[in-house]
Amino acid sequence: MAQYDVIVIGGGASGLMAAGRAAERGSRVLLLEKNKKLGEKLGISGGGRCNITNAEEDVRVFAAMYGKAEQFLYSLFAQFGVKDTFKFFESRGLPLVVQARKRAFPLSEKAGDVIKVLEEYVRGGGAVVRTGSAVTKIVSDKTGISAVYCGKAEHRAKSYILATGSVSHPETGSTGDGFEWLRELGHTVAAPTPTIVPLRVAEKWSKTLSGTSLSFMKITFFVDGKKAFSKTGKILFTHFGLSGPLILNCASEVADLLHSGAVTAAIDAYPHTDLGSLEKTIIAAFDKNKNKSLKNIIKEVVPDGTHKGVLMLLEDKMDITKKVHSVTKEERRVLVRLLKALPLTIEGLMGFDRAVIADGGVPLSEIDTKTLRSKKVPNLFITGDLLHIKRPSGGYSLQLCWTTGWVAGNTA
């Protein structure tokens, strides 16, 4: 039985970075991955394009995006931050490109290229990689972990890095094994909830728009009819409700609202246009098409791709087959008000199967915040999604994986 310096459990984003860094420092490293391939979840991140990081250069602004974990992250980002991520990938032949909302992607827009770079980093440093090797047992006592088993195969090391990920996208192998082991090892584990996840809505009109994506829409959420909060950004309509960056980043707040009452929402399709100006625009379109029916010209006054849904809503309020010249002033204003507040009923959040990210994990009070060493188990280091940190979409989750993986690999 070979003796290692470091055993890394989990071959995802943080595990690959941890194994690569530990090997680079000269440690004898074993990486254990239960899937047949490394980086399964990484391969589907960002829709297969892999949103590697967010190019926000101000560390304070960047860290503030992680909510209550902000103070904990400064020392970690000082060791390996956004600039280090750019340097890491670009120096290994993978140029990055910054797109809307400072999201950074590989220039090739292929997640597979990111996995390839990381795999070369790990193997190039001499780490031993065992795929199809699910850890079935961890043996420990007061002095720490002494061995891990993959079936009957025993593996021993001086230090262990747990990088198994959370429970989002269980089809990629993220089934919460790490949470179970952490509990057995004496850690507290906050129960996971799908935090960056699409919303399920009741209305048929929105489902008819499945596949339609709208930029710069404003959505306002209400609890029992009282305004809770508004956000502006990109919305994607789906067959079950709403998705897209704006919606994903609202999900955790909406989850809180759902505990306190009935949640509804209104989409302002023209957030930068007031009621009066929008009415003038509609009057001009009506004047050009006086003899056409309302249903045939509605495309000209609503955002691209939304006419079917708007017509469904209008059908309940007026005769959409009438000629435009017969539309009354009040009916025209109904249309204007509708476009400023398309109504939705939020039924709930989608589950872990559709979650981009799930929170939950070990509270930061149980971790050494400079090294990621467990305060409960002296030779254990914990990375990535196993840490109870709120992570917005837009590259922040993967940056946390690169940072925590590198730091753990550097100190283990």
Q: Which residue ranges form the domains of the chain, and what is each CATH number? A: 3-193+359-411 (3.50.50.60), 198-350 (no CATH)
Task: Note the pLDDT of residue 353.
Answer: 54
Q: Worst-scoring range by mean pLDDT, 78-87, 318-327, 398-407?
A: 318-327
* pTM of structure: 0.68
Q: pLDDT of 247-271, one tens digit each? A: 888 887 887 787 777 899 999 999 9
Q: Is it the case that residue 176 has pLDDT exceeding 70?
A: no
C-alpha 222/C-alpha 204 separation (Å) is: 20
Instruction: Tell me the average pLDDT across 343-354.
Output: 77
Q: What is the mean pLDDT of residues 46-50?
A: 78
User: Per residue, what are the HEC states of the chain?
Assistant: CCEEEEEEECCCHHHHHHHHHHHHCCCCEEEECCCCCCCCCHHHHHHHCCCCEECCCCHHHHHHCCHHHHHHHHHHHHHCCHHHHHHHHHCCCCCEEECHHHEEEECCCCHHHHHHHHHHHHHHCCCEEECCCCCCEEEEECCEEEEEEECCEEEEEEEEEECCCCCCCHHHCCCCHHHHHHHHCCCCCECCCEEECCEEECCHHHHCCCCCEEEEEEEEEEECCEEEEEEEEEEEECCCEEECHHHHHHHHHHHHHHCCCCEEEEEECCCCCCHHHHHHHHHHHHHHCCCCEHHHHHHHCCCCCCHHHHHHHHHCCCCCCCEHHHCCHHHHHHHHHHHHCEEEEEEEECCCCCCCEECCEECHHHECCCCCEECCCCCEEECHHHECCCCCCCCHHHHHHHHHHHHHHHHC
Residue 215 pLDDT level (bands cut at 50, 70, 90): confident
Averaged pLDDT for residues 86-106? 93
Phi, psi (degrees; rounded to nearest 5) at 177: -55, -45
Task: Specify the amino acid at residue 76.
Answer: L
pLDDT at 195 over 80: no
pLDDT range class, residue 358, cuts 50, 70, 90 = low
Q: Which residues contact 80 (CB under 8 A, 6 or more apart)?
A: 402, 403, 406, 407, 410
Which of 349 and 146 is assigned the larger pLDDT? 146
Average the pLDDT over 305-314 and give the result. 93
Average pLDDT of 234-250? 88
> Is pLDDT at 16 greater than 70 in this prediction?
yes
Structure tokens at 304: 């691209």
Is 114:42 a contact under the CB 8 Å cutoff?
A: yes
pLDDT at 12 over 60: yes
17-46 average pLDDT score: 92
Residues 189/362, Cβ–Cβ less than 8 Å: yes
Under a CB-based contact definition with an 8 Å cutoff, are residues 163 and 386 in contact? yes
The pLDDT value recorded for residue 122 is 98
What is the pLDDT of the chain when averaged over all its residues?
90
pLDDT at 171: 46
31 and 122 Cβ atoms separated by less than 8 Å: yes
- The residues with which 362 forms a beta bridge, in sequence order, are 387
Rounded CA separation 113/273 (Å): 43
φ and ψ at 140, to 5 degrees? Answer: -150, 160
- Amino acid letter for position 295: K
| Residues near 340 by beta carbon (within 8 Å), at least 6 away in sequence | 268, 269, 270, 275, 278
Dist. CA 397–CA 88, nearest whole Å: 17
Per-residue burial over 143-163, b if 16 or more Cβ lie within 10 Å, else e, is: ebbeebebeeeebbbebbbbb
Distance from chain centroid for Cα 47: 11
Longest dimension (CA), the chain: 86
* Mean pLDDT computed over 120-135: 96
Query: Which residue, chain included where needed, has tokens 């297969």?
Result: 48
